[in-house]
Amino acid sequence: MRRIGDPGSTSALGGALRQQAITLADLVADLTQVANRAERAGRPDATTRERELLERTARELDAVGAALQSYTATVLAGAARTRELATEAARADLVVDGSLVLEAPGPSRVDPTVRLRARERLQELLNRVTAAEGKELGRIARELERSGPALATVSERSRLGS
């Protein structure tokens, strides 16, 4: 399974993105208070555009950050499960090599039929771990494909003042 970064760094990045989203949401709340005071005083709201851009940015950062943290949780759970499967495989003279369950080198004292059944069962369980990680990685890709253009639009609007 192809992984992105190490789990600690990936989770930290997700957390940093989510923290920035919270900071932006706090700024939106502050601007909303300013807008409400202006409205009560009969002045126009000069913060509408800024609040909209900040809200959109916060949503995008939070979505990507959540996807990264979810991926990290899946990878860590998958690593723990893979270690369990490797221990079980060793009892049947099998080894886990990446995403494959293989026969251990050398002669085996385990009945060949029992060994084959164990290999098939363990491979299926390992496939589930790999599939879960792939699903989460796909989620990150979809979030980035969706979020990238949205953030580019926010950036462009900010630069142009529109």
Count of domains observed in the chain: 1
In a domain, 150, yes or no: yes
Percent of the residues in the chain that have a pLDDT greater than 70, as a whole number: 98
Question: Residue 162's pLDDT band (boundaries 50, 70, 90)?
Answer: confident
pLDDT at 3: 64
In a domain, 66, yes or no: yes
The range of the structural domain enclosing residue 154 comes to 7-160
Q: Name the residue with tokens 């989620």.
A: 139
83-114 pLDDT tens trace: 999 999 999 999 999 999 999 999 999 999 99
Note whether 125 and 82 are within 8 A (CB).
Answer: no
How far apart (Å, rounded) are the C-alpha atoms in residues 117 and 125? 12
How far apart (Å, rounded) are the C-alpha atoms in residues 72 and 3? 10
What's the token pair of residue 126? 């390992």
Percent of the residues in the chain that have a pLDDT greater than 90, as a whole number: 94
In a domain, 86, yes or no: yes
Q: Cα 44 from chain centroid?
A: 41
What is the mean predicted confidence (pLDDT) over 140-144? 95
pLDDT at 28: 97
In a domain, 84, yes or no: yes
How far apart (Å, rounded) are the C-alpha atoms in residues 96 and 119? 10
In a domain, 2, yes or no: no
In a domain, 60, yes or no: yes
21-62 pLDDT tens trace: 999 999 999 999 999 999 999 999 989 999 999 999 999 999
Q: Share the mean pLDDT of the chain.
A: 94
What's the pTM value of the predicted model, to 2 decimals?
0.84
* DSSP letter, residue 71: H
In a domain, 107, yes or no: yes
* Dihedral angle over CA of 69, 74, 78, 79, nearest 10: 0
